[in-house]
Structure 1
Amino acid sequence: MPKSPRKRALTSPHDALFQWTFSQREHAIGLLKAALPPEVVAAVRWSTLRIEKGSFVDRALRSRHSDLVLSARMGAGRIYFYAIIEHQRDVEALMVFRMGLYMMRLWERLTRDQPGLTELPPIMPVLVHHSDTGWTAARAFQDIVAARGPARAALLPHIPCFELRLVDVSGGRAGDVVEEALTALGKVVLWCLSVSGDDARLEREIGRIAAALDEVLQAPNGLAALEALLRYLVATHERLSVRKSGGILEKATGPRAQEAVVTALDEIERRGERRGRAQGRAQTLLELLAARFGEVPAEVSARILAANEATLVTWTSRILTAPTPEDVLGDDGQRASPARRPAARKRARRT
């Protein structure tokens, strides 16, 4: 049974699908082998690939950029792969600059965690891009530095020099990759990213990935993958109903996938209903907190909006007795009741 991909707070459906898929080693290896230079692919010991913890994207940009850090043995050391998925309508002219910032943050963390380092490990930057026009900006950092004329040659040795490895899915097929290296799920995911929001292309081109979808469904975690794909299609094709999105996938995979599609759709609808109830409870709790305590702190509001229904029920039950908003959200195991706190303070004074 394959290990579940790592969990992290997700900010968009693109982030959710990308992280769910490529936080699994086999699919990450396929993506990297498809995107990297053949010399690097041959030098890496892929059996040592691991997913690294942490994100280096600015909070304000996490709705547009999602990152994934991986590493593997290469020679006597490790090589790091810094992958970003960028999904927006326009091309960001200085994206290579942002990538450079994120790479520097990764190197900074590595030197902090390993103070004895005398050399920096290589970092390979990979950008997965989707936009209306396809990638039109510079890939090399030195190309965005405004140094022109006779002095440019003399300035170049003093300017950072690196180039993005680009996976451009804007045209319906992933550009600049060796598609044969991708796993079946990797192919399907990149295709889903490429048709995001375009209902007509989704229906017209679904047959292109029919064989890959069949292979995905035959895998041990095929039902989980199908649910992740359907969840993405529902979120990014809002004009289509949940059942319509499922029907499009079912048409591509044939009758034998019908039961899997129906099961996945039922689970999505159940989760949607639970999420709707939780959102209603969260709004009610926020209104009650504001009525009793005044303006609700941003961190308290964020915790409430992210909580599940059972937790919200517990917090709502505390609203009349808790002395502060923070006490409403206190952990059950650690939160002392108001009546017990004075005794606890007396014991502290005696010690």
Structure 2
Amino acid sequence: MTSPHDALFQWTFSQREHALGLLKAALPRPVVAAVRWSTLRIEKGSFVDRALRSRHSDLVLSARMGAGRIYFYVIVEHQRDVEALMVFRMGLYMMRLWERITRDRPRLTELPPIMPVLIHHSDTGWTAARAFQDIVAARGPERAALLPHIPCFELLLVDVSAGRAGDVVEEALTALGKVVLWCLSVSGDDARLEREIGHVAAALDEVLRAPSGLAALEALLRYLLATHERLSVQKIGGILEKAVGPQAQEAIVTELDEIERRGRAQGRVQGRVQGRAQTLLEVLTARFGSVPAEVSARILAADEATLVTCTTRVLTAPTPQEVLGDDGPRVSPARRPPARKRARRT
């Protein structure tokens, strides 16, 4: 499932204007000057291992620079600790990106540059190695001889931990970009959310007064509600309202009312679905006796349309499995009858 961090990050920085602001804020000035930003585009695909998608999400962008393209590989971390071998994982993902590029363009004789950007937030700030060669265990006099044979690159770090975003040129960020990086920074810390909202008050007010303000507000509220579970909708709304002007306050009140309305509607739907599921299980029990655990679990997890279909089958289906639409009773491998031997032709 998509994490709230990934959802907010992808929604924001998959929009070209906000991605452009983030890159201009983070990249070295000579690179910013050399890139033709009008050619910036979002590339398709993710290179993060499936098992690690709850901890990292990535975004690949590219633009023209000189005679070719430069790629920007951006990772945002979801956990609030420091991963000692993060630079190694970044190296793996960069290699996968280069592999795809060379597969798509087999006649290349040079690789395009990739800028590895890590967005990190934690209680301590980034404390691990940023350079790949610094995680290779060679500390003796032989190190100088080994270094030419070790991959050499360094993470471009955007550390949004409390008080540590000094390397970012904030003026280059869009207003929404500033607010999103701040939201990532205070994720899960209720006290900081309330105490430091003033740091992004002007940016938040600008976001909410923009034509796309309601969509941005919904994305921000979803994130804040998911990452500050101890705070109610009203409490988070109140914190935001104190930081913005009257026009933006009106937008917040409107969106909070809509969230509560959708929540009530969703609760009614969930109650109706649960009632259908329980009724179907009672009918199955009355007809077949004990209901297999697998069938019960699938019914309790089903959506309303599936439950309606199953209810129409319950009076005629010969087994509980066929109520769910399975083709027939399942036979375990141990009980499967042996295949008949084909008679020899004489």
What interval of TM-score do these two structures reach, taking the shorter chain for normalisation? 0.7 to 0.9
Whether contact under 8 Å (1:128, 1:169) holds in the other structure is: yes
Distance 1:204-1:151 versus aligned 2 partners, 3 A rule: same
Letter in 1 for 2:160: V
Letter in 2 for 1:231: R
For residues 80-131 of structure 1, give each alpha carbon's deviation from its aligned partner in whole angstroms, at most 9, with x where no partner exists. Answer: 1110111323200000001111111111111222222222211111000011
Distance 1:325-1:206 versus aligned 2 partners, 3 A rule: farther
Letter in 1 for 2:294: E
Which of 218, 228, 244 is the equivalent residue of 2:219?
A: 228
Whether contact under 8 Å (1:96, 1:138) holds in the other structure is: yes
Give secondary structure in 2 for the equivalent of 1:66: strand
Equivalents in 2 of 1:45, 1:217: separation in Å?
30
1:327 CA displacement: 10
Which residue in the other structure is 2:33 paired with?
42
Pairwise CA RMSD: 3.1
Which of 58, 63, 71 is the equivalent residue of 2:54?
A: 63
Which residue in the other structure is 1:28 paired with?
19
Whether contact under 8 Å (2:310, 2:325) holds in the other structure is: no
Whether contact under 8 Å (1:45, 1:72) holds in the other structure is: yes
Which residue in the other structure is 2:138 paired with?
147
Which of 82, 86, 91 is the equivalent residue of 1:95?
A: 86
Distance 1:104-1:202 versus aligned 2 partners, 3 A rule: same
Give secondary structure in 1 for the equivalent of 2:33: helix
Name the stretch that deviates more: 191-200 or 124-133.
191-200
Equivalents in 2 of 1:165, 1:283: separation in Å?
53
For residues 26-48 of structure 1, give each alpha carbon's deviation from its aligned partner in whole angstroms, at most 9, with x where no partner exists. Answer: 11000001111111111111111
Equivalents in 2 of 1:14, 1:79: separation in Å?
26
Which residue in the other structure is 2:168 paired with?
177
The structure having more radius of gyration, on CA atoms, is 2
Equivalents in 2 of 1:224, 1:295: separation in Å?
40
Name the stretch that deviates more: 112-121 or 216-225.
112-121
1:325 CA displacement: 7.7
Equivalents in 1 of 2:69, 2:239: separation in Å?
43
Distance 1:113-1:233 versus aligned 2 partners, 3 A rule: same
Letter in 2 for 1:55: S
1:164 CA displacement: 0.5
Equivalents in 1 of 2:107, 2:198: separation in Å?
54
Letter in 1 for 2:91: G
1:273 CA displacement: 4.2
Contiguous gaps of at least 5 residues in structure 1: 1-9, 331-336, 339-351
Give secondary structure in 2 for the equivalent of 1:295: helix
Equivalents in 1 of 2:96, 2:268: separation in Å?
40
Identity level (%): 80
Whether contact under 8 Å (2:209, 2:248) holds in the other structure is: no
For residues 197-238 of structure 1, give each alpha carbon's deviation from its aligned partner in whole angstroms, at most 9, with x where no partner exists. Answer: 111111111111111112112222011111111111111111
Count of residues in correspondence between the two structures: 314
1:276 CA displacement: 4.9
Q: Write out aligned runs for 1:133-144 (5 A).
A: 133-144=124-135
1:25 CA displacement: 0.5
Distance 1:142-1:240 versus aligned 2 partners, 3 A rule: same
Q: Write out aligned runs for 1:99-248 (5 A).
A: 99-172=90-163, 174-248=165-239
Give secondary structure in 1 for the equivalent of 2:74: strand
Structure 1 length normalisation: TM-score? 0.80
1:282 CA displacement: 8.0
Structure 2 length normalisation: TM-score? 0.81
Give secondary structure in 1 for the equivalent of 2:294: coil
Contiguous gaps of at least 5 residues in structure 2: 285-289, 329-346
1:11 CA displacement: 2.0
Distance 1:328-1:121 versus aligned 2 partners, 3 A rule: farther
Give secondary structure in 1 for the equivalent of 2:97: helix
Distance 1:225-1:324 versus aligned 2 partners, 3 A rule: farther
Equivalents in 1 of 2:176, 2:237: separation in Å?
17
Give secondary structure in 1 for the equivalent of 2:310: coil
1:191 CA displacement: 0.9
1:284 CA displacement: 7.5
Give secondary structure in 1 for the equivalent of 2:304: helix
Whether contact under 8 Å (2:291, 2:320) holds in the other structure is: no
Equivalents in 1 of 2:155, 2:265: separation in Å?
41
1:258 CA displacement: 2.2
